[in-house]
Chain A
Amino acid sequence: MLRVSAAAEAAGVPSASLVCEGFVGQAATTSVGLGMPNLPLAKVPGHVDVQTPDELRANVLNVTLPEVIRHLLNDPAPAVLDKDPPPDEIVFEGGFEEVNRFFYENGWSDGLPIVPPTVEKIGEFLRFTELAPEHKLGTLLPDNRAATVWNVAINGVMAGCRPEYMPVLVALAEALADPAYGVEHSGNTPGAETLAIVNGPIVRELDFNYLQGALRDGFQANTAIGRFFRLYLRNVAGFQLHKNDKATFGGTWRVAMAENEAVLRKIGWPTVAADMGLEAGANAVTIARYTGGDVIVSVYGDSAERMLPYLAEAVTRMNGWQLIFTVGIAQGTLRPLLVLSPILAETIARSGYGKADVKRYLFEHARLPARQFEAYYGQYTNLYPAKRSLNELVRLGRAHPVFAQSDDPGRLVPLVEEPEQFMIAVSGDPLRTNAYTFAHNGMLGFPTAKKIRLPRDWTALLRQARAR
């Protein structure tokens, strides 16, 4: 909404943005990133969802309306954005504990000790990219700050990365800066956490864990790169709790997940990166935001036909309010992710199923009654307040035709618009028959993949780095 107001103001049209009280701070910070720090905000006291019509009416008439009128009659003050210190400024000198306290107190750390980003340490990281330190990878809202190779290295050092992770970090920053990813939405109230999926030979070269415990901390590459991502969101994009990160609960950052490419090759399934359109075998990262997930334990059976019903049922259960990302405020953006342990993937593949066949199966069998689907967007939430039926929405061109195949409110409808909107990865304990299903926060943006660019003398550099 603020983006609309910013566009209107830029075009010389007065605006007033209605903002619930709890969001005024976020709106102010967001408008900074939009380059219009003084975007006029009209406060609605409290939160509209819990007010009676009379209370809401009184609040709007007494508080909101006068502000709207004032804003429409006055020009917002011009933007004056504060500048960061020069990138190579030494901001602090002191011992390890002092550096940590200084970074923490100034909001630059997540509360765990950081590795002090000394010029020397940053230099070690810079050797692992051919890009110049000042090279701009993109611009990150809400702070509207440039993502540069230099600030990638700084946050990589702080997160506890090794210098040779630098190519992965650069690719992550590029993915973050891709408009399709929608970094500016990272502070929304459901509070999704990003999962980075790593593909390519670099998984082995950097010792990513893609075996047992693939989603748990304990391996430096997975852990430190996951932490880097959240620090980068904090320090470069500018997301901070109690300010513009409005996650109601949030969660800890996720460790990066690497795929088991040996198994994928063996069963002839494409990697996630290949599904995302990158060349097979490429080093790549794919990022997407998930609000949560659950393990699917002890999937029993000796064939795809025996295993898939349980998996489809679990994927269906994982998607409730998220269905508003299929039909509703962010139509067609839901991308549920299912992670299979290698033994499950191999068993399913042995039945003749390719990855596309599994997606097709989920599309056809991970379904729920239309009336329940409608309840999620029109009844339990008010996220799509028009209260229209799926059939009406299809007729209006606001839902995919698959949701209007009969008038029966008990008919089963899919979770997504088409099979390809499911994502499947293979990782985890090779010999345990468990899977994992992730709840995707669709409206924030799309899963985004970037190729990892290695420096020319990668092999030699890597050997040197590992010898240290």
Chain B
Amino acid sequence: MNDSLWLVVPVAQRAAGDWIDDTLAARAAEKGLTGRLDLAGRFPRRRVEVIRSADPVAQCNALYLRRGWTDGLPIVPPAIARVDDMLRFSARPREAVLGEMEPLAGLATVERVAANAVMAGCRPEYFPVVLSAVEAILAPEFNLRGVQTTDENVTPLLVVCGPIAQRLGVNGGFGALGPGWQANASIGRALRLVMHNLGGGWPAAVSLAGLGQPARYTLCLAENTAQSPWEPLHVELGLKPEDNAVVVQRAESVVNVTGGLEEIASVMGSLASAFSLLHGGRPAVLLAPYVAARLAAAGLGKAEVKRRLHQLGRIPVEQWRRSWLARELIRAERWPDWVKQAAEQGAIPAVESPEDITLVVAGGDLAIAQHAYLPSWGFPSARIVKPIELPADWAAMLAEGTRP
């Protein structure tokens, strides 16, 4: 006896009506990926597909994997009912187009974003956050085309700000970068699947990141506002404490640092992230609450911490001159003026200005503190703040509960 699954096709059409999968299938064939993606481009060209099988969930997963529609992990089939549950958490019509998603210019409609959010394992109430995150990466200054196609391993960093973070259980404390929290895991994953299925960022076919990185599965957290001595990130960026927003920027990797500002600065001033000097960019520092509290007790505000990091985290110019990048890849005149000027003074900071550093208090409050440094990549410098639009009856909808 066969069961049926009625699924919203989760991949994108361009404004012309054609499907980006045709381009992807061609690229996959050129790159010799058709062994793994043997059904690339082979799917019904319509809004809804019906899968009939004794085990349609397994069948859906098998088909989607072979069509190139997943990140390699199992997905939740984007059944119409689940997509509709998701859509109820947005006031926008399902056909509304958020934008054309680079590099293949797939139309990110609200409904197709919802389908990918279902696949990622999002709960319906996460959907407003997912939509804002998608809007953030569609902002021109995010340079999604670059992020999707570069040989660098860059990925969006997503910080969920405001009271919504706690309401949805977005973790900013112990283990904020995972694993273990559904919101962190699935919201970041939804953004990746959207980039993959609506923008066409297929690894090794269109996305030519040398290694990729685990954070390309998900990189989403909240700030540990309860234990932060300072104003929350979104307030620092001009919003009100009660506002909800996502802050999105480009992250090249996640480098763990144990210790204090000196240790963080040492990583910032290392050659490992010197490539980003070329374009500028905005790195992030995830600062442990224990260290933050100590700094605040010593009278330091966020701006002063950033200034210290900028001051301490510098690459000695001799080291920089000997670097492979400087010797082999980048002609001297291509380095930005501020880098050349800093070099004349003996050391080059990680970024042009202290304000370019995004400081987020996150993680557990252990005295042996664990921080992370997330160097950036690419131009222009981007730190995108997108307010989160909640449905009018949000509180009631949350209270009512949704399916897991």
Chain A residues 67 to 99 lying within 8 A of chain B, measured CB to CB, are 77, 79-82, 85, 91-92, 94, 98
Query: In the complex, given contacts A37-B17, A102-B48, what are 4 additional A-B residue pairs having Cβ atoms less than 8 angstroms apart?
Result: A38-B16, A91-B46, A105-B80, A107-B47
A82 touches B45 (CB 8 A): yes
Given the known inter-chain contacts A25-B95, A243-B95, please indicate yes or no for A105 contacting B18, CB distance below 8 A. no
| Interface residue? B139 (CB, 8 A) | no
Given the known inter-chain contacts A105-B6, A106-B47, please indicate yes or no for A82 contacting B18, CB distance below 8 A. yes
A92 touches B17 (CB 8 A): no
Give chain A's interface secondary structure class. loop
* Minimum C-beta distance from A115 to chain B (A): 20
Q: Which residues of B contact A105 (CB under 8 A)?
A: 6, 47-48, 80
Give chain B's interface secondary structure class. loop
Given the known inter-chain contacts A37-B15, A82-B16, please indicate yes or no for A242 contacting B50, CB distance below 8 A. no
| Interface residue? A311 (CB, 8 A) | no
State which of B16, B47, B50 has its C-beta within 8 Å of the C-beta of A92.
Answer: B50
Chain B residues 1 to 44 lying within 8 A of chain A, measured CB to CB, are 4, 6, 13-19, 44
Q: Which residues of B contact A85 (CB under 8 A)?
A: 45
State which of A28, A91, A98, A106 has its C-beta within 8 Å of the C-beta of B15.
Answer: A28
B45 touches A80 (CB 8 A): no
B45 touches A79 (CB 8 A): no
B19 touches A82 (CB 8 A): yes
Report the separation of the CA atoms of residues A85 and B94 in the bound assembly, to the nearest whole angstrom: 25
B95 touches A242 (CB 8 A): yes
| Interface residue? A101 (CB, 8 A) | yes
State which of B6, B80, B93 has its C-beta within 8 Å of the C-beta of A242.
Answer: B93
Chain A residues 86 to 133 lying within 8 A of chain B, measured CB to CB, are 91-92, 94, 98, 101-102, 105-107
Q: Which residues of B contact A243 (CB under 8 A)?
A: 95
Chain A residues packing against B (C-beta within 8 Å)? 24-25, 28-29, 31-32, 37-38, 77, 79-82, 85, 91-92, 94, 98, 101-102, 105-107, 242-243
B50 touches A37 (CB 8 A): no
Closest 5 CB pairs of A and B: A37-B16, A105-B48, A82-B18, A242-B95, A28-B15
Report the separation of the CA atoms of residues A267 and B272 in the bound assembly, to the nearest whole angstrom: 96
| Interface residue? B97 (CB, 8 A) | yes
A38 touches B15 (CB 8 A): yes
Report the separation of the CA atoms of residues A29 and B80 in the bound assembly, to the nearest whole angstrom: 24
Report the separation of the CA atoms of residues A29 and B13 in the bound assembly, to the nearest whole angstrom: 12
B13 touches A82 (CB 8 A): yes
Report the separation of the CA atoms of residues A243 and B107 in the bound assembly, to the nearest whole angstrom: 13
For B97, the closest partner residue in chain A by CB is A25
A102 touches B50 (CB 8 A): yes
For B7, the closest partner residue in chain A by CB is A105
For A243, the closest partner residue in chain B by CB is B95
B18 touches A80 (CB 8 A): yes
Q: Which residues of A contact B105 (CB under 8 A)?
A: 77
B17 touches A82 (CB 8 A): yes
B14 touches A80 (CB 8 A): yes
State which of B16, B19, B47, B95 has its C-beta within 8 Å of the C-beta of A32.
Answer: B16
For B8, the closest partner residue in chain A by CB is A105
* Minimum C-beta distance from B164 to chain A (A): 27
Report the separation of the CA atoms of residues A82 and B80 in the bound assembly, to the nearest whole angstrom: 24
B6 touches A37 (CB 8 A): no
Report the separation of the CA atoms of residues A366 and B266 in the bound assembly, to the nearest whole angstrom: 88
State which of A81, A94, A106, A242 has its C-beta within 8 Å of the C-beta of B48.
Answer: A106
Instruction: Bits for B78-104, please: 1 = Cβ < 8 Å to A, else 0.
Output: 001000000000000111110000000
B18 touches A81 (CB 8 A): yes
Q: Which residues of A contact B6 (CB under 8 A)?
A: 101, 105
For A240, the closest partner residue in chain B by CB is B95
